[in-house]
Amino acid sequence: MSGPEETYRPLVIVPTAIRKRLSLCGKPLTATELEILRWASEGKTVWEISQIRATSEATVKFHLRNIYGKLDVTNRVQAKNEAARQGLC
């Protein structure tokens, strides 16, 4: 029979945003994500990228979040630097 110290596990709550980022980390960028990253790295705003791609701003933001998760970064500057480091653009 097990003692209480062997059966007790502290509850660790991981925020959804972190869980999603961790699940994406290391996965390759899609062609769409690479294009959006290229436009973002050229200084285009979410609105400008949405106009270029004829899509909604929400869709562009969705792709940017996925890019950040896959590259394990938190903003555009880090994404651009990490993509350059990995030879993606």
All structural domains of the chain: 27-84 (1.10.10.10)
**Interacting residues of 6 by C-beta distance below 8 A, sequence separation 6+:** none
Give the span between the Cα atoms of 40 and 47, in whole angstroms.
Answer: 11
- Dihedral of the CA atoms 36, 40, 45, 49 (nearest 10)? -20
- Give pLDDT, residue 62: 96
Residue pLDDT, tens place only, 35-76? 999 999 999 999 999 999 999 999 999 999 999 999 999 999
User: The whole model's pTM is what?
Assistant: 0.73
- Give pLDDT, residue 23: 65
Give the span between the Cα atoms of 18 and 8, in whole angstroms.
Answer: 25
- Give pLDDT, residue 43: 94
- Dihedral of the CA atoms 78, 60, 88, 81 (nearest 10)? -10
Average pLDDT score, the chain: 85
When pLDDT is cut at 50, 70 and 90, the band that residue 80 belongs to is very high
